């Protein structure tokens, strides 16, 4: 592979091109009229305008991208995340054109894109599933049978959905009929496929995902896990690696499940297997993302592996140069997503010009972004400005380092989620590890941003106090009555 077309924009296009340059591979950018002055366009060896700002007329148009690939003589295409990255038709077109997609086959995308066939694969590979219907549910009668087995609340999910799209909660038997009809007609109009299935609704889960990497020679490894529980409306806000609630035994089990699932769909390249973990520490397969993820940097930090480089090596047909035994977790990484959104105003996108833009620097800080001071944040795309990543020897130090990096970040001209992130990572619930997917709803109010912020030290002191308590109550020699630990989730300190 000598020349790679990056079919994406913004920070991820730049991130991919940087690795290409390190590997002596030429880069081709495609850009919309809104991105003419973007950093990724300047960084690329060649760049081609592919149309108007709307992604439906540029970044999502398969023919335009194939055209540029041919014209430029690119022999590989990296799709990044979003846009065409999980589009099986795009993968198939590239297969036909003899251009290597840096990603899995169209077949793997199809199997995992359809949530029912993904679950079927998981079942075959003995990967635990949330209790629910076996396959699609077509009638009220079937739905009621499942409901009696698994109990309420339930979730009805669209097979063609995913990432939180096409889900409906059902809290009692009386509303099944209505919710099932709504779910099926929504699925039909949104995805063109009315198939739905039912699962028990795990009400306060952790969202933990496993990074896998597979070559074309039958080798597959897991690169450990990330906790992405802190989200807002299915948009992740804070991610970390490794997931602090997992014991080494669970980590190994979940990693091995992720690898079996990948093998079950003949997966090639980098992929992510999402799990829910409930308060009894049972884990269940949710879905598989057949692309490089936004939050991949935290995995890179703790493993020392460049995932984009590995994707390219695998696409070239090389064997993985390491085995599972070679992989070790070292340290802890946090990522906060810096969005141009106003946390004081219901996180409304706040686009405009980056009047001031100064990145934090120093030990253990990585910023993946695509903007410079003076640039405008286009209204047409996701309003993410940057991913701020910190790495340190342990979780507490990574939190302290993140707090410092946030304080060092200077952005003016647009409201950002930085101060919300500072609040969240220093919250006692986050520091102690006692949080779930409802963190934002449970713990955040805009007025908290104007209060003197809970000092990190206070949260840390409270947390360290709770460790002292839990180790005392766990020790066999202690017969002193201890105040019970009320936290559902306990951090596992490796």
Is 369 near ligand MV4 (CB under 6 A)? no
Given candidates 117, 231, 235, 453, which one binds ligand MV4 under the rule CB under 6 A? 231
Q: State which residue, 72 or 272, has the beta carbon closest to ligand MV4.
A: 272
Is 320 near ligand MV4 (CB under 6 A)? no
User: Minimum distance between the CB of residue 108 and ligand MV4, rounded to whole angstroms?
Assistant: 18
Binding positions for ligand MV4, 427-446, rule CB under 6 A: 437
**HEC profile for the chain?**
CCEEEECCCHHHHHHHHHHHHHCCCEEEEEECHHHCCCHHHHHCCEEEECCCCCHHHCCCCHHHHHHHHHHHCCCEEECCCCCCCCCHHHHHHHHHHCCEECCCCHHHHHHHHCHHHHHHHHHHCCCCECCECCCCCCCHHHHHHHHHHHCCCEEEEEEEEECCEEEEEECCHHHHHHHHHHHHHHHHHHHCCCCEEEEECCCCCEEEEEEEEECCCCCEEEEEEEEEEEEECCEEEEEEECCCCCCHHHHHHHHHHHHHHHHHCCCCEEEEEEEEECCCCCEEEEEEECCCCCCHHHHHHHHCCCHHHHHHHHHCCCCCCCCHHHCCCCCEEEEEEEECEECCCCCEECCCECCEEECCCCCCEEEEECCCCCCECCCCCCCEEEEEEEEECCHHHHHHHHHHHHHHCEEECCCCCHHHHHHHHCCHHHHHCCCCCCHHHHHCCHHHHHCCCCCHHHHHHHHHHHHHHHHHHHCCCCCCCCCCCCCCCCCCCC
Is 6 near ligand MV4 (CB under 6 A)? no
Only one of the segments 143-151, 201-209, 219-227, 262-270 lies at the binding site for ligand MV4 (rule: CB under 6 A); that segment is 201-209
Q: How many residues bind ligand MV4 (CB under 6 A)?
A: 17
Only one of the segments 102-110, 202-210, 340-348, 374-382 lies at the binding site for ligand MV4 (rule: CB under 6 A); that segment is 202-210
Given candidates 16, 130, 315, 459, which one binds ligand MV4 under the rule CB under 6 A? 130
User: Minimum distance between the CB of residue 107 and ligand MV4, rounded to whole angstroms?
Assistant: 22
Q: Which of 206, 226, 232, 291 is catalytic?
A: 291
Given candidates 86, 100, 199, 215, which one binds ligand MV4 under the rule CB under 6 A? 199
Site string for ligand MV4, 160-189 (x = CB under 6 A): ---xx-------------------------
Residue 291 annotated among the catalytic residues of the structure: yes
User: Minimum distance between the CB of residue 291 and ligand MV4, rounded to whole angstroms?
Assistant: 14
Is 151 near ligand MV4 (CB under 6 A)? no
Site string for ligand MV4, 246-275 (x = CB under 6 A): ----------------------------x-
Residues that bind ligand MV4 (CB under 6 A): 130, 155, 163-164, 199-202, 205, 207, 231, 234, 274, 276, 286-287, 437
Please list the active-site residues: 291
């Amino acid at each position: 592979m000598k020349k790679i077309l990056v079919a994406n924009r913004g920070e991820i296009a730049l991130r991919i091109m940087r690795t290409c340059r390190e590997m002596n591979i030429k880069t081709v950018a495609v850009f919309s009229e809104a991105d003419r002055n973007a950093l990724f366009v300047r960084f690329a060896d060649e760049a081609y305008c592919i149309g108007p700002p709307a992604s439906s007329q540029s970044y999502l148009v398969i023919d335009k991208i194939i055209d540029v690939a041919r014209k430029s003589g690119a022999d590989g295409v990296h799709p990044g995340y979003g846009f065409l990255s999980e589009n099986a038709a795009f993968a198939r077109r590239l297969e036909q054109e003899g251009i290597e997609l840096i990603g899995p086959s169209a077949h793997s995308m199809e199997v995992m894109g359809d949530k029912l066939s993904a679950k079927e694969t998981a079942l075959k590979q003995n990967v635990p599933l949330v209790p629910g219907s076996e396959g699609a549910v077509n009638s009220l009668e079937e739905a009621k049978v499942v409901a009696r087995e698994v109990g309420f609340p339930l979730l009805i999910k669209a097979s063609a959905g995913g990432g939180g799209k096409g889900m409906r909660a059902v809290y009692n038997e009386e509303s099944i009929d209505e919710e099932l009809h709504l779910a099926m007609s929504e699925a039909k109009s949104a995805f063109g496929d009315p198939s739905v299935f039912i699962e028990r609704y795990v009400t306060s889960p952790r969202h933990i995902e496993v990074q896998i990497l597979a070559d074309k020679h039958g080798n597959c490894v897991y690169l450990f896990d990330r906790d992405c529980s802190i989200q807002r409306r299915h948009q992740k806000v804070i991610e970390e690696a490794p997931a602090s609630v997992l014991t080494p035994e669970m980590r190994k089990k979940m990693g091995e499940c992720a690898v079996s699932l990948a093998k079950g769909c003949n997966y090639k390249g980098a992929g992510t297997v999402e799990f829910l973990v409930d308060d009894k520490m049972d884990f269940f397969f949710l879905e598989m993302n057949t692309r490089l993820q936004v939050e991949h940097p935290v995995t890179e930090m703790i493993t020392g592996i460049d995932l984009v480089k590995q994707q390219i090596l695998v696409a070239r047909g090389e064997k993985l140069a390491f085995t599972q035994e070679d992989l070790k977790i070292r340290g802890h990484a946090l990522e906060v997503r810096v969005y141009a959104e106003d946390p004081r105003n219901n996180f409304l996108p706040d686009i405009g010009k980056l009047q001031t833009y100064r990145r934090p620097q120093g030990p253990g800080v990585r910023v993946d972004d695509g903007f410079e001071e003076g640039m405008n944040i286009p209204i047409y795309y996701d309003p993410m400005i940057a991913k701020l990543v910190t790495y340190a020897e342990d979780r507490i130090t990574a939190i302290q380092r993140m707090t410092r990096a946030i304080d060092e970040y200077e952005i003016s001209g647009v409201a950002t989620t930085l101060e919300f992130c500072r609040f969240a990572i220093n919250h006692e619930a986050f520091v102690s590890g006692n949080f779930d997917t409802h963190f934002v709803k449970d713990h955040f109010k805009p007025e908290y941003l104007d209060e003197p912020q809970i000092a990190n030290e206070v949260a840390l002191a409270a947390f360290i106090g709770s460790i002292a308590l839990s180790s005392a109550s766990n020790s066999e020699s202690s017969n002193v009555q201890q105040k019970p630990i009320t936290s559902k989730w306990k951090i596992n300190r490796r």
